[in-house]
Amino acid sequence: MQRLARYAAPAALVLCLLPSAVFARIKLITLPVRERVEIQLDNPDATLVEEERVVPLVKGENQVDFSWANTNIDPGTIVFRVIGPGEGKAVDAKVLSVSYPPGEAALVWTVAATDSGSARVRISYLLGNLNKSFAYRATASNDETTLDLSQYMRLQNLANEEYGSTELWAGFGKEFLKPIGINETKEMLMNRFAQVPIRKTYTCNPQEFDYLDRGQNKLRVPMHYVIKNDKASKLGAASLPAGKVRIFIQGAGANAESATAFLGEDWGKFTPIDDEMRLYLGVAQDIVVQRTIERRDQTRVAGNLYNREIIIKYEVENFKPQPVTLDVAESISFVRNEIFGDNGREIQWELGPQTTFQGGPDAEKSSIDKVLFHAPLPAKSADGKAIKTILKLHLILKNEW
Single residue among 127, 154, 170 that ends a domain in this structure: 127
91 lies in the same domain as 138: no
Between CA 273 and CA 205 the distance in angstroms is 26
Q: What pLDDT was estimated at residue 353?
A: 97
84 lies in the same domain as 152: no
Residue 92 lies in a domain: yes
Residue 79 lies in a domain: yes
Single residue among 238, 259, 277 that ends a domain in this structure: 277
323 lies in the same domain as 269: no
253 lies in the same domain as 340: no
51 lies in the same domain as 82: yes
Residues 279, 310: contact at Cβ < 8 Å?
A: no
Residue 220 lies in a domain: no
Residue 342 lies in a domain: yes
59 lies in the same domain as 69: yes
Single residue among 106, 127, 148 that ends a domain in this structure: 127
The lowest-confidence range among 33-47, 216-230, 321-335 is: 33-47
Of the two residues 28 and 75, the one the predictor is more confident about is 75
163 lies in the same domain as 268: yes
149 lies in the same domain as 231: yes
Q: What pLDDT was estimated at residue 377?
A: 98
Residues 212, 271: contact at Cβ < 8 Å?
A: no
154 lies in the same domain as 257: yes
Residue 25 lies in a domain: yes
Residue 59 lies in a domain: yes
Q: What is the pTM of this model?
A: 0.80
Looking at the predicted structure, is the pLDDT value of residue 123 above 50?
Answer: yes
321 lies in the same domain as 342: yes
Q: Which domain holds residue 139?
A: 129-197+225-277
291 lies in the same domain as 377: yes
Q: Over the stretch 340-385, which tens digit does the pLDDT of each residue have?
A: 999 888 999 999 999 999 999 999 999 999 999 999 999 999 999 9
Residue 18 lies in a domain: yes
Residue 35 lies in a domain: yes
Looking at the structure of the chain, the number of domains it has is 3
- Considering only CA atoms, which of 104, 154, 159, 97 is closest in space to residue 128? 159
What separation in angstroms does the CA of 368 have from each of 31, 158, 334, 351? 64, 47, 13, 12
Between CA 196 and CA 150 the distance in angstroms is 11
134 lies in the same domain as 270: yes
